[in-house]
Each structure stands twice: as C-alpha cells, then as structure tokens.
Copies of this chain bind each other. A is one copy, B any other.
C-alpha cells in the first residue's frame, strides 16, 4: 500500500476507485486524508461475463468486491431448487462487504450484465476502517442503507400483490440508476430478464410477463427488447406504493420530478 500522497501515484489509480469514493461521500463528508486513504486501497481488476460468479454461496472469501461497471445481483437458492434474488447492484456498490467481512458467504453474487470489478483484500478494508474511523463510519452507513433496502424488499415480496410490487421495483431501479448517475428515472434501460425479475419478486416469469403487460396496458411504462422505460412516473409510483425515503439518498443525489 502506498502512502496517501496528494499527487497522483498512477495516472488512473484514482479514477478506478472513484466510484467507491463517490458512494461513501454520499452520506458523510470526508477529509483529504480520508479520501486519499480510500484511493490508496490495493485492488485487483477483473472482468466477468453475464452470470459469472463474484462469489459463491458457501465460499470463504478474503476479498471484498467493488462494482466498477455493469449490473450485479445477490442470490440465494432454496432446497426446492428455487432462486431468490436479494439485491441488485450498480456501479459504485461494494457488493461483497458482507460475505468478506463475515468470513462466510451466505449467498452468491453474480454478474447480470458484463461487469468490471475491483477486488480489495479484506485486511486492507479493516485496516482502513481502523486507521480512518470516518471512513469506517461511511462504510457502516452504506451497510445500514443496504439493510434498509432489504427491509423494503421483505415488505415488497410479502405484502404487496404482483402489480404493486413490480411497479415498486421499477421505481426503485429508476431512482437508484439516477442517483448513480447512470440515467434518468423517467427513461432508463433495464438489462434484466423477466425470469430474473420474477426471482427478485418471488413470482414466476409467466406472471411477471402478464403483469408487465398490464402496467403497459395502463400506460405506465413502455417496453422494448429486454428493457423497460417508465413513461408515467407519478402514476407508476402510486401504483407501486413507492416513496423513496427508504433509499436514504441525500437530497442532492436525485433530481426533483414534477
């Protein structure tokens, strides 16, 4: 690990971990030393094709994994062979703090699209958190927000019908894509199959298909190949019982939508 120098050590070193820095600063300001320490984290780059595994359930990983580009998801398998998708992750998300810090992977993390990731040794993260407590706090906050989204998913998959929960999920994607600077909540690309949507909602892909058509019929969304475009935000949010407080985004992270 190199010393946190104010000058650029490597031309692109800073830019590679920049998404992490951006994410951690969403909630709490960090000073120059904090920022330098984050950017000085050691890492290994890797590229994975769709369905490639970042980590498998049951592994004992010793690296965390920062998602640099593309979309990834967490999943768990049940004994009856069904799959449950637990979370969807975008650029800047640290997708494997949980498994790495806890020493045991209670779920898998896989690429949804082609992704690029940076593997960061667990020990480096622990040292960072101990030496720079503000950074540790920031990562803790990130974990708290993840937990908030998990809670919303429990309610979404337990107490909302298919139409409502699908609309809700589409809203969440829109807001998070916007917050990550990857698009507009009103018009974003969603590179996810109906099969995967079904596993994220606890439904069957057949019913997801029918529900998508229903939302389309209601004029809330339009669809093209394997992607969904939201056309009526307000009505979709109402249909999905969606309000974004649970994402705990700072005001600056989202644009106001009339």
Binding site for B on A (CB under 8 A): 74, 76, 78-80, 82-84, 86-87, 97-98, 101-102, 104, 106-107, 126, 129-131, 133-134, 136-137, 139-141, 143-148, 150-155, 157-160, 164, 199, 201-202, 241, 245-246, 248
Contact B136 A137 (CB under 8 A): yes
- Complex Cα distance A148/B86, Å? 10
**With A104-B248, A154-B86, A248-B102 in contact, do A136 and B140 touch (Cβ < 8 Å)?**
yes
Contact B140 A76 (CB under 8 A): no
Closest chain B CB from A58 CB (angstroms): 8
Closest chain B CB from A241 CB (angstroms): 4
Contact pick for A245, options B97, B104, B131, B245, CB 8 Å:
B104
Closest to A134 in B: B130
B-chain residues with CB within 8 Å of residue A80 when the two chains form the complex: 159-160, 164, 241
Mostly, the A contact residues are: helix
B-chain residues with CB within 8 Å of residue A78 when the two chains form the complex: 155, 159-160, 164, 241
B-chain residues with CB within 8 Å of residue A97 when the two chains form the complex: 144
Contact B157 A246 (CB under 8 A): no
Contact B148 A140 (CB under 8 A): no
Closest to A97 in B: B144
Contact pick for A159, options B82, B136, B145, B147, CB 8 Å:
B82
Closest to A240 in B: B79
- Complex Cα distance A245/B103, Å? 11
